[in-house]
Amino acid sequence: MAETLLTGADSAEYLQDEKSDFDVAPALNLGDLDITTDEFILDEVDIHIQANLEDDLVKEALKTGVDLRQYSKQVETELQRIEQASIKDYIKESQNIASLHNQISACDSILERMEGMLSSFQSDLSSISSEIQTLQQQSVSMNLRLKNRQAVRSHLSQLVDELVVPSTMISVILDSPVTEQEFLEQLHELNSKINYAKELSFRETLACSDVQDIVDRLKIKAVSKIREFILQKIYSFRKPMTNYQIPQNTLLKYRFFYQFLLANERTVAKEVRDEYVDTMSKIYFSYFKSYSGRLLKVQYEDVADKDDLMGVEDTAKKGFFSKPSLKSRNTIFTVGPRGAVLSPAELEGPILIPHTAQRGDTRYPYETLFRSQHYALLDNGCREFLFLSDFFMVAGNSALDLFNSIMGKTLSMFLKSLSTYLSDCYDSIAVFLCIHIILRFRAITVKRNIPALDKYWEAVLELLWPRFELILEMNIQSIRNTDPQKLGVLDTRPHYITRRYAEFSSAVVSINQTFPNERTHTLLGQLQVEVENFVLKMAAEFPSRRDQLIFLINNYDMMLGVLMERAADDSKEVEGFQQLLLARTQEFIEEILSPPFGGMIAFVKESEALMEKGQLDKLRNDEARITQLVRGFSSSWKQSVEALSQDVMRSFTNFKNGTSIIQGALTQLIQYYHGFHKVLSQPTFRSLAVRSELINIHHLMVEVKKHKPNF
């Protein structure tokens, strides 16, 4: 730098000073190399000497034999020369050194100023940091105030929106018909404002009082219009020939009307509900009373009475003033086409139209009228219960109580009418069909999840079951009290009493299979026991065992055939009569084989018994008897079999049963003759000459097949 350069005079003076300083320079300090110092430790001399001897220059000097003193002086002289040269270099560079010194001083001042600036910056940054913290605190505070204002604004906005009553709502509630969709929408809004106003009134909100008057007047107007509309629909039910389901469906579209009344004007809601209950109660009672009365006009005129029992003989005579009985009591115990009333197609088919049936002069059994009457009740009852639950918003016991207040009078009328009919009813098939109609209708209501008629179904069954049991017990008693000697001429054909039982039992068993009932099984078991006893009593009236068996087989076969048409093959009744028929058939086969072949059969049985005991030799002397049996069978068996077949076919009314008996008899005959062969082949009789006259068993089987009846 220019200002730091030395002048010529200054340089001369500076050099002079340096020279003088050099002249008076202190003596050279050799440090550790100075061996003249007192501080030199003699113990370390050997170490230093050893180290110096290792030096390359020293080694070289020792090798060459240089004089160390001379060499030391030479070195000292060299060092002084180098020192002088170094001083000259220093003096030569003195200006640069001075310049460097000035530059360093300038840098120090600059760095000092920079240090001051940085200190100032540091203090400024400290103040900025505190300002930032202040701003952050202010930001948090402002954010909190903003959130609070937004929360207040949302509440106030909701409050204002809920409290403000728009002019559109006022005009619609006052002027629009209740059937308009817009009225329904504004009614929902009004209901919401009423509820909100109630909520605010509990909080003692002052703003609520500003709109309370308007809301109350709108509520009164809405309640008035809704009341008028609903009552008008209810009154329309009362018009003659009105299909009340149409206005009911209309009411369901506006079910919110009743909800509005219930929430805001319970007095009016109760008035509407009571009016509906009173109206519908009268409508249902009037409708079903009229319908039931007209149904009875198309019922069969000929009905069973107390004398039309299973054990009453057809020849029984009545008094002069007694009414004529049914043309045939068998129809009382036969289900026939009457059982179709339980088929799904007819059970849930259209109800009967009485005036149409009257014009066609059509008549129906009681169970058909009962089905039509109760299906109408089922259909209307289910629909009414669903309407009440939906429109009046009731459930559980409340719904059942409301339903009973409407339908109770009608149901009581039904029960009274049924009780009156049953008190003079002796048609057990009709009562049993009615029981199963109710059981199926109850299952339908359970499937539809409608509990409204459950108690009614139970009440009806409590009337029907005792009457059915009573009629069945009367029939059982009539069979028990039957006197076979008063039943007219004896006949081996199936008896009309057993036919009545068979028809009745098959009907009851087939119907009961769908809804099994233990009470029915018990009563049928008692009836079966009495019928079996009756058949045995009747059979005892025949003088010969053969006729007794024919009578028993004909009756068992007939009852079994009728039962198997309807009842299951594994039912108790079918199995019981199968066992009885099999036992009596086997006994009858033995009975018809005895006259023509009794001697041979007795001989075979006697011989087989002795063979088992090993005493066959007792018959050794019966050669004449055996000869007679062999020749007698050979000469007459064909005629005997032919006569037997004709006799069996004449004795049994069921051709199939007679054929089966003939086949069983011929099979049994072949078995006996095979046993006869077996006995005569024993050593005791092997020497008899008559054995050659025996008919070959296979030839006999071929001949017997010719007599087997063909269908």
Query: What integer pLDDT is reported at residue 548 of this predicted model?
Result: 92
Contact 175, 125 (CB under 8 A): no
Q: What percent of the chain has pLDDT over 70?
A: 85
Which tokens sit at 334?
Answer: 């036969």
Determine the Cα–Cα distance for residues 494 and 486; give it in Å rounded to an integer: 17
The answer to whether the Cα torsion of 532, 535, 541, 545 is positive or negative is: negative
pLDDT in tens, 123-141: 888 888 888 988 999 899 8
Q: Position 589: which residue type?
A: I
Query: What integer pLDDT is reported at residue 361 of this predicted model?
Result: 77
Backbone angles phi, psi at 93, to 5 degrees: -100, 15
Query: What integer pLDDT is reported at residue 25 of this predicted model?
Result: 43
Backbone angles phi, psi at 339, to 5 degrees: -65, -15
Determine the Cα–Cα distance for residues 606 and 625; give it in Å rounded to an integer: 13
Spatial CA neighbour of 262 closest among 163, 359, 394, 378: 394
Query: What integer pLDDT is reported at residue 314 of this predicted model?
Result: 65
Backbone angles phi, psi at 38, to 5 degrees: -75, -20
Which tokens sit at 68?
Answer: 């160390």
Determine the Cα–Cα distance for residues 11 and 94; give it in Å rounded to an integer: 9
Determine the Cα–Cα distance for residues 494 and 581; give it in Å rounded to an integer: 13
Query: What integer pLDDT is reported at residue 377 of this predicted model?
Result: 95
Enumerate the domain spans of the chain.
60-160, 167-264, 295-311+330-549, 593-707
Q: At what angle do helices 454-480 and 496-512 cross, to 10 degrees?
A: 160
Length of the chain, in residues: 711
Query: What integer pLDDT is reported at residue 204 of this predicted model?
Result: 58
Q: Tally the C-alpha atoms within 13 A of residue 266's C-alpha that lie toward its C-beta.
A: 1
Query: What integer pLDDT is reported at residue 238 of this predicted model?
Result: 84
Determine the Cα–Cα distance for residues 562 and 296; give it in Å rounded to an integer: 32
Determine the Cα–Cα distance for residues 426 and 470; give it in Å rounded to an integer: 9
Q: At what angle do helices 396-422 and 366-391 cross, to 10 degrees?
A: 160
Question: Could you say which residues of the chain have pLDDT below 70?
Answer: 1-45, 61, 65-66, 154-164, 197, 199-211, 241, 314-331, 569, 707-711
Query: What integer pLDDT is reported at residue 602 of this predicted model?
Result: 93
pLDDT in tens, 222-253: 999 999 999 999 898 888 767 878 888 888 89
Q: Tally the C-alpha atoms within 13 A of residue 118's C-alpha that lie toward its C-beta.
A: 6
Query: What integer pLDDT is reported at residue 64 of this predicted model?
Result: 73
pLDDT in tens, 550-571: 999 999 999 988 888 877 767 7
Spatial CA neighbour of 496 closest among 482, 477, 509: 482
pLDDT in tens, 394-438: 999 999 999 999 999 999 999 999 999 999 999 999 999 999 999
Determine the Cα–Cα distance for residues 646 and 632; give it in Å rounded to an integer: 21
Determine the Cα–Cα distance for residues 257 and 184; give it in Å rounded to an integer: 8
Query: What integer pLDDT is reported at residue 399 of this predicted model?
Result: 93
Q: What is the pTM of this model?
A: 0.69
Query: What integer pLDDT is reported at residue 354 of this predicted model?
Result: 85
Beta bridge partners of 364: 299
Determine the Cα–Cα distance for residues 710 and 649; give it in Å rounded to an integer: 12
